[in-house]
Amino acid sequence: MSRFVQIERRRQAIYGWILLSPAVVLLSTFAFYPSLATFWSSIFSRQTRRRPSEFVGFENYSDLFADPTFWKVVTNNLIYAAATIPISIAIALAMALWANSKIPARGFIRTAYFTPTVLPMIAAANLWLFFYTPGLGVLDQIGGLFGLPSVNWLGQPSTALWAVIIVTIWKEAGFFMIFYLAALQTIPEDLKEASDIEGASRWTYTRRIVLPLLMPTTLFIMVNALINSVKLIDHLFILTKGGPNDASKLILYYIWEMAFAFFDAPHAAAMTILVLLVLGIVAGVKFTVLDKRTHYQ
Does 170 bind other proteins (CB under 8 A)? Our answer is yes
Contact characters 65-104, other proteins, x per CB under 8 A: --------------------------x--xx--xx-x-xx
Question: Could you tell me which stretch among 61-69, 148-156, 173-181, 193-201 binds other proteins (CB under 8 A)?
Answer: 173-181
Q: Which of residues 217-246 bind other proteins (CB under 8 A)?
A: 227, 230-231, 233-234, 237-238
Does 43 bind other proteins (CB under 8 A)? Our answer is no
Q: Which of residues 257-296 bind other proteins (CB under 8 A)?
A: 259-260, 265, 268-269, 272, 275-276, 279-280, 282-283, 287
Does 126 bind other proteins (CB under 8 A)? Our answer is yes
Q: Give 55's strand partners.
A: 44
Does 201 bind other proteins (CB under 8 A)? Our answer is no
Q: How far is the CB of 121 from other proteins (least distance, A)?
A: 6
Does 162 bind other proteins (CB under 8 A)? Our answer is no
How many residues lie near other proteins (CB under 8 A)? 93
Helices 157-185 and 68-100, packing angle to 10 deg: 40
Does 131 bind other proteins (CB under 8 A)? Our answer is yes
Handedness of CA 98, 103, 107, 113 (dihedral sign): negative
DSSP string, 260-295: HTS--HHHHHHHHHHHHHHHHHHHHHHHHHHHHHHH
Q: How far is the CB of 171 from other proteins (least distance, A)?
A: 10
Instruction: Please list the alpha-helical segments (H only) found in the chain.
Output: 2-27, 33-42, 59-66, 68-100, 106-118, 121-132, 138-145, 157-185, 189-197, 202-205, 211-231, 234-239, 251-260, 265-296
